[in-house]
Amino acid sequence: MTLLTVYDGASTIGGNKIYLEEKGRGILLDFGMNFAKYGEYYQEFLKERSNRGIYDLINLDMIPKINLYRQDLIPADMDPKPWPKPSVEAVLISHAHLDHTGNVGLLRGDIPIIASTISVAILKAMRDTAPISLGSEISYYSVKTPLDDCGGLVLESKSRGSYTARDMYLCTEPTAELRDFASHRPGGDSKRGKAVEAGAVEHHSHLNLPFIIEPYPVDHSILGAVGYILRGDTTISYTGDYRLHGSGAENTRKFISAARDSSTLITEGTRVGRESDEEITEGDVLRNCQEAAEAEMGLVVADFSARNFERLQTFTEIADRTSRTLLVTPKDAYMLHALGCADGKCLMDTANISIYNELRNHKKDKWETEVVSKLWGDKYVSHTTIGQSPDKYLLCFSLFDLKHLLDIKPAGGSYIYSSSEAFSEEQTFDFQRLTQWLRYFNLKPVGYTMQGDKPQFIKGFHASGHLSQEDLIKVIDQIDPDKIIPVHTANKDWFKQKFEKTIPINDGETIKL
């Protein structure tokens, strides 16, 4: 008998935390951050207190009360012993977006991760370059110890010693480059640096798990996404996030074909219940954004989701076709290096990519000096050079990078917004701020307009990372499972109306399959 528990993500888009157990042994499918729950209490400058471990997150019900968390994150005034303690032998990560991985760093360090080589590379690069938060300590983490004079209530990371790496088991055989990348932290070899105690980096067949794991690449808005088929007493398919209108659509079709003998389908439903419209493909985005870039005689700025490498490839082609040099941030360049480590070669052409050299009052981070500067040292471009010939550049910036335009001083240009629409009040505020910046620099917005205080988005400048509801109906009909478990959706009622086989489940509920 197989038991399924959805700890989170049953009624929200993201935050997937799904547990499968058979004969007392189990695995987790993703362990993501629930942005909807976080957004009820937190914002950019109001976050959980890392020196209290998981105390804040537990008390605000942002993570489930289960006895699976790192012991070093448990302060003295918290006792996890009464909480359920499921047997977890691995966490299967579908892809590297934070709504699927953002709480993995809280889990016990002895729980290994299964993911694609690309996801492992992305998560490692994110850990190397991003500000530290507890949940993002996925690839490696710093063990916390209680301060002596605080009664064990305040936890602190040691400045000396080393980081602890998690064991990583991959969907395909790891390359030598990925093994090296996963086990080395830039700056770790210096006198004051903290090295990483290397963990396993192996193929997932090295693990003895309660299910036979079959990973299949699927198409999504981030590279490295996989769907999983798990075979035990019953066969279960888990889609993660997927689509049929991207460049990797054939991969998704292969997953669908392989899942046809599944008795249970756990599927995302991000777009169900929304008004149907003509599906926008990456080819459509390329044509529309290229047309906007060709019409602009000044600076072109492109804004798209972080780690959307397919969109980066789209704008690389646009830059080449419009005789512009594409400029990315150093973090983007480091991420491209990580992708190259995933399969031993770079997954996209970087010959025409250069790096924006921002002004700073501190030394470059070790990940930049040891990797980016060595690989692209002759490709840094200053604000002065861009300001003198803005028509020669296509700059990959988001709202949070626009402060650097104060140095470039563009005299007009275009800002191509090629990312998802705003769905929350806070995101609407971001567009009000963005519009202020664009007005200041006399940059024409492309891809959206403001109607009063609210943004109105123009179709054709962004391709969704998720299936349309029409495609989802076709997928479910093709797989024809006995049971349908909707997750990653705000509209479970749509599934119940469309499919009698739907088993709606709430967060924290357990069902027998």
Residues forming beta bridges with residue 22, ordered by sequence position = 2, 25
In 218-256, the DSSP E strands lie at 226-231, 235-238
Please report which confidence band the pLDDT of residue 348 belongs to, taking 50, 70 and 90 as the band edges: low
Residues 69 and 218 in one domain: yes
Of 267 and 276, more confident: 267
Spatial distance between the Cα atoms of 380 and 369, rounded to a whole number of angstroms: 12
CATH code of residue 131: 3.60.15.10
Residues 262 and 155 in one domain: yes
Give the mean model confidence (pLDDT) for residues 134-163.
88
DSSP code for 460? T
Residues 387 and 492 in one domain: no
Question: What is the reported pLDDT for 347?
Answer: 59
Residues 228 and 296 in one domain: no
Q: Is the pLDDT of residue 228 over 60?
A: yes
- Report whether 386 contacts 393 (CB < 8 A): yes
Task: Tell how strand 168-170 and strand 201-203 pair up.
Answer: parallel
> Nearest CA to 120 among 104, 143, 142?
104
Domain closes at, from 457, 480, 503: 457
- Output the six-digit token pair for 508: 């924290």
Residues 77 and 174 in one domain: yes
Cα–Cα distance list, 474 to 206, 271, 332, 477, 511 (Å):
36, 14, 36, 5, 26
CATH code of residue 325: 3.40.50.10710
Residues 420 and 387 in one domain: yes
340-346, long-range: CB within 8 Å, 24+ apart, which pairs? Answer: 340/177, 341/121, 341/175, 341/177, 341/178, 341/180, 341/181, 342/117, 342/118, 342/120, 342/121, 342/175, 342/177, 342/178, 342/224, 343/117, 343/118, 343/175, 344/175, 344/176, 344/177
Spatial distance between the Cα atoms of 60 and 70, rounded to a whole number of angstroms: 18
Residues 9 and 97 in one domain: yes
Residues forming beta bridges with residue 195, ordered by sequence position = 162
- Identify the burial level of 389 via C-beta atoms within 10 angstroms of its C-beta, where 0-12 means exposed, 13-18 middle and 19 or more buried: exposed
- The type of residue at 493 is D
Any idea what the Cα angle at residue 44 is, between residues 434 and 310, rounded to 5°?
Answer: 60
Spatial distance between the Cα atoms of 243 and 245, rounded to a whole number of angstroms: 6
368: containing domain = 282-457
CA dihedral for 187, 188, 193, 198, sign (positive or negative)? positive
Q: Is 255 helix (H, G, I), strand (E, B) or coil?
A: helix
Domain closes at, from 457, 478, 494: 457
Question: What is the reported pLDDT for 193?
Answer: 80
- Report whether 260 contacts 480 (CB < 8 A): yes
Please report which confidence band the pLDDT of residue 288 belongs to, taking 50, 70 and 90 as the band edges: very high
Q: Give the count of domains, the chain.
A: 2
Q: What is the pLDDT of residues 367-409, one digit of tens each?
A: 999 999 999 999 999 999 999 999 999 999 999 999 999 999 9
- Output the six-digit token pair for 268: 């995302």
Please report which confidence band the pLDDT of residue 344 belongs to, taking 50, 70 and 90 as the band edges: low
Residues 226 and 166 in one domain: yes
Buried-state track 295-329, b at ≥16 Cβ within 10 A, e below 16: ebeebbbbbbbbbbbbbbbbbbbbbeebebbbbbb
Residues 115 and 241 in one domain: yes
> Taking the mean position of all CA atoms in its chain, how far away is CA 425?
22
DSSP sequence for 349-371: --TTEEEE----SSPPPHHIIII
Residues 506 and 439 in one domain: no
Residues 478 and 371 in one domain: no
- Output the six-digit token pair for 288: 């529309």
Domain closes at, from 412, 436, 457: 457
Residues 408 and 428 in one domain: yes
Please report which confidence band the pLDDT of residue 340 belongs to, taking 50, 70 and 90 as the band edges: very high
Please report which confidence band the pLDDT of residue 350 belongs to, taking 50, 70 and 90 as the band edges: confident
pTM for this structure? 0.95
Please report which confidence band the pLDDT of residue 349 belongs to, taking 50, 70 and 90 as the band edges: low
DSSP sequence for 119-145: HHHHHHHHHHHSPP-GGG--SEEPPEE
309 contacts: CB under 8 Å, gap ≥ 6? 222, 223, 335, 336, 339, 347, 348
Question: What is the reported pLDDT for 90?
Answer: 98
- Output the six-digit token pair for 397: 């910036």
Lowest mean pLDDT among 106-115, 348-357, 366-375, 500-509: 348-357
DSSP code for 452? T
Q: Is the pLDDT of residue 130 over 90?
A: no
Spatial distance between the Cα atoms of 9 and 28, rounded to a whole number of angstroms: 13
Q: Is 60 helix (H, G, I), strand (E, B) or coil?
A: coil
Spatial distance between the Cα atoms of 393 and 272, rounded to a whole number of angstroms: 39
Which residue is listed with tokens 């302060």?
75
> Nearest CA to 13 among 445, 448, 420?
420
Return mean pLDDT, the chain.
93
Spatial distance between the Cα atoms of 347 and 307, rounded to a whole number of angstroms: 13
Looking at the chain, the number of H-run helices and the number of E-run strands are 16, 27
- The secondary structure element, H or E, covering residue 39 is helix 35-41
Q: What is the pLDDT of residues 29-76, one digit of tens each?
A: 999 999 999 989 988 778 899 999 999 999 999 999 999 999 999 999
Q: DSSP 3-state helix, strand, coil percentages of the chain (rounded to 5)?
A: 35, 25, 45
